[in-house]
Amino acid sequence: MGISGFKPSFLVGVEVVRQAHGSRLAALAGRQLTGFALVRFVEDGDWFADCPVVLDFDGVQVEVCHSQLDLLSIGWDTIDTAATITGWEWFELTPQWSHSDERLEPFVGQELCEVALLEWRPAEHDLAAGTVAVEFVFAGDCLRIVNGLDENRIEVGAAQPDYVRHRLGR
């Protein structure tokens, strides 16, 4: 993707993600969200949802990226959002890091209360069954980065009832 430092390590399933990242995610509680970054196209400002969502909690950077129907990569302090995204000369649009997003901006400055993993388990089986979302709980609202079926999707507010919540303890 030409993103400096981005080396995804994709995992499948809530227990595998919990084993790999649960304690570090839980340790973010009590930190303030101090910034974020998304990749947008210069020409139209559209979010390129295939690229990681980067959240900065007082200097600890978590990088969340979904791919395909069930893959989730969580990285830590590896992506340089000040670096130019390269290798897109063949593509008609130019990607660049953006620190602007109306869904994320209200959370900047807020203290994180808790992080949870959410597993999609609908009453009737569908393609998304078993996908894992990362939920960041703040005092006034929740922010989730979910699998949008081969890309990231950002949700704010209460989670859909078909998610099973897996709390992360320290």
- Average pLDDT in the 8-29 region? 96
In a domain, 52, yes or no: yes
Please tell me the predicted confidence (pLDDT) of residue 30. 97
In a domain, 5, yes or no: no
Per the structure, the count of domains in the chain is 1
- Average pLDDT in the 141-162 region? 95
In a domain, 1, yes or no: no
4-8, 90-94, 129-133 — which is least confidently predicted? 90-94
Max mean pLDDT among 5-19, 88-102, 124-138 falls in 5-19
In whole angstroms, what is the distance from residue 138 CA to residue 96 CA?
28
In a domain, 3, yes or no: no
The string of pLDDT tens digits covering residues 25-73 is: 999 999 999 999 999 999 999 999 999 999 999 999 999 999 998 999 9
In a domain, 2, yes or no: no
Please tell me the predicted confidence (pLDDT) of residue 124. 82
Give me the domain span that covers residue 76.
Answer: 10-167
Task: Provide the pLDDT confidence category of residue 147 given band limits of 50, 70 and 90.
Answer: very high
Check if the beta carbon of residue 162 is closer than 8 Å to that of residue 122.
yes
CB atoms within 10 A of CB 18: 17
In a domain, 4, yes or no: no
